[in-house]
A and B are shown apart, each in its own frame.
Chain A
Amino acid sequence: MLTLAIESSCDETSCGVIKDGREVLSNIISSQIDIHRRFGGVVPEIASRKHVESINLIIQEALDEAKVGFNDIDFISVTQGPGLVGALLVGLSAAKSIAYGLNIPLVGVNHIEGHVCANYIEHKDLKPPFVCLIVSGGHTYLIDVEDYNSYTLYGRTRDDAAGEAFDKVARAMGLPYPGGPFIDSLASKGNKEKIEFPRVFLDDKTYDFSFSGLKTAVLNYLNGAKQRGEEIVLEDVAAGFQQAVLDVLVEKSFRLSRELGRDKIVIAGGVAANKGLREMMETRGIKNNIGIFYPSPRLCTDNAAMIGSAGYYNYINGKTSPLDLKVMPNLSFLD
C-alpha cells in the first residue's frame, strides 16, 4: 500500500512516498529557513509563496526517488493542521487535486499525530502501547498511545510550548533563529548548576506543563546581569535553562509511565532532537528499565514521511476525508 504524503504546515515543503506506514521510499524536505532567517522568524505570507513555487517539483522529486509514478499511489496523505493557514492550504490544494485527478482516497492528517508516527518509521518493531512526550516549537503534550490511532491525553502546556520557550530564550541571548539547537549545544558546554531557574509544576500532581514563567525568569536574569554589569556566561545560562525544562519533561514522562505500567517512552517533535533531553531520558530509562525511543534528527523536523505513516494508520482504520476537507490551523490534539 503506497501513499504520497504532503506536508506544508510551516516553512518546510515536504513530499514523500511511504509503503505500509513504515517504509520510506522517499522523503524530500525543502527548507525555507534561510529565507526566513533575515526576518527573525517564519513570515507566513512568504512561506505560502515559497510552497506554491516548489510543491510540484518536490512531489516529482519524491516520486522519482521512490521510482514510482502517480498511478502507483493508492491514497494521498496530507497535513490538515495545525499550522499556518496559508501554508497548509497549498499542500491541501495539491493533495485534493491529485486525489480527485487519480480518483483515489484523500486522508487528512493531524500534524501532531504525524510527529508520533515518525517513530514507527525509525523503529520498525515499535508497537503501542507506550507513553509519548510530544515537544515542538508549537506543542507540548504528554499522552498515552494505547493503539495506532488511539490516544489519551494526560498533559499539555498551559502557556508556551517547550520549543517556543527555547526559541524565545535563544533570541534574548542573541542566538540566531531557530534557537533551540544553539541552546542545546551551548548547554553541553555549560554548568547546569550555576544558575537556578524555576521548575514549574514539577512536584504538582498535574501532568500539565508551563514554561512562560521559566522564560520570564531567564529574561529577568539576563536583564539584571546586564544592568549590574556582570559578565553573562551564555553556556551556563543555556545549561541552567535547558535543565529546568528537561527536569519537568522527564519527571512527568516517567511518572506517567509508572502510573500506567508502560515499559516504553517515546519522544516526538522537533525538540526530540535535543541531545540533552535524549541523554537524560536514556539515563533514567536504564535505571528504571524503560525503553526510550526517538526519531533520528531528520525525522524530528517537519517531514512528509511522518504524515504518510499517520495517514496509513488512519486509512486502514477507515478514516478518509472528503474533497471539501477544511484546513484546521488551530487543530489541537485530543480535545
Chain B
Amino acid sequence: MRYVEEFRDPKAAKALLAEIARVTDEIGATKAKPVHIMEICGGHTHAIFRYGLDRLTPEGVEFIHGPGCPVCVLPMARVDECVQIAEQPDVIFTTFGDAMRVPGTKKSLLQAKADGADIRMVYSPLDALELARRNPDKEVVFFGLGFETTTPSTALSIQQAAAEGLTNFSVFCNHITVPPPIKVLLDDPHMVLDGFVGPGHVSMVIGTHPYDFIPEDYGKPIVVAGFEPLDLLQSVLMVLRQIRDGRAEVENQYSRVVPEHGNPVSIAAMEDVYEKRPSFAWRGLGEIDESGLRIRDKYAAFDTEAKMGIGYGAEVAREVEEPEGCACSQVMTGRIKPTGCPQYGTGCTPEMPLGALMVSSEGACAAYYQYGQRRPVETAE
C-alpha cells in the first residue's frame, strides 16, 4: 500500500485510490488492456502530472490528454497574423501572457516585441479596453484566445466598448469551443476512449448539457470535474463506476461551482456577440466544423479581422505546415506520449519550444517535462 503525503487530505486520497483500484479490477482492466480516460482540460493535465495521479492510479487506467489547452491548439498561421497585426504602426497589441512564446513560422510574439512591436501582456480584456480609452490615437487590438471560460469576457468587453462608442478597440477573435473537437476524436477510428473527465470551468459557463451527445450518441460516460487533486480522483472513480455498471451519463462532480445550465449572463453575451464559423483550424487536429467563433456583423467595428482584412477576414485563411520533426498532432490525438516525439527534451524544451504543447504548463509535453523526472510523494507502508 502506498500513500500520498502531499495531498491536503491524504486519508481521503488513499481511500479514493483504493476504491479506484477495486473498480478497475472489477472492470478487468489491466496494463495490457487498460481503460482510456481522456481529461479534456489542460488545467487537469497539469494537475494530473503535478500530483503524479497517472502513477498513483492503477496501471489499468490510462490517461489520454485532451485538446483543452488553448495555446496548444493555436495554429502557426494565427500566430503569424498576430505578429503581422502587432507590427503595424499605431497598433498596441494586447494578449494574455500565455500566448507570447507560441512559435509562429518566423517568430513568436515575444520575438516581435523584442524587435520593437508594441505588444503588451494584459491580465484581462478590460486592461485592453482601458488602454484604448487612454490612447485614442492608437488602435488597441486584443487577442481573443481561449475556450468558453474566457470567451464571455471578450464578449462583455466588446459590448462595453460599443456602449461607450470606442472606435479604436477591436478583438482578433480566435475563440474556440470544447465540444466539436471531442466529437472529432470520438469519430476517429484510431482513438480508443472509454470515458471523459470534463472541464469544470468551461462548464461553469456553458453548463453540463453541451456534453449530452457524448453518452447519447457515443455511449461514453463523462464526469465534469473540479481541478483539486481530490476532485480529479473522485471524478475518475465516477467514470470508472459508470463503465463498470454499463452506464453512460453526464455527471457533475463539481456541482459546487458548476450549475446545470451554466452562467446565463455569459451565455447571453456570447450569443449576442459571436456566431459560429463554418470551420476553424486547430493545430494538430486540422479544420473542425463549427469549432470556432467569429464576431457578428453588427459588431464589425470591433472585429480586427473585418477592420484589417486579416485571418478569416481575408479571402482565405492561411494555412501553414507544422514545423519539421514535430509530433504535436500525434501527441494531441493520444497516438504517442510526449516522450515518443524525437524533439522532446532536445529540439523542444519549455525554454525553447518547437511545438505549442511545450509552451504552457497546461500542454501535455510541458507537463511531462516539468514533472516527468519526478516521482509522486509516496512511501511504502
A is bound by B: no
Contacts from A to B (Cβ < 8 Å): none
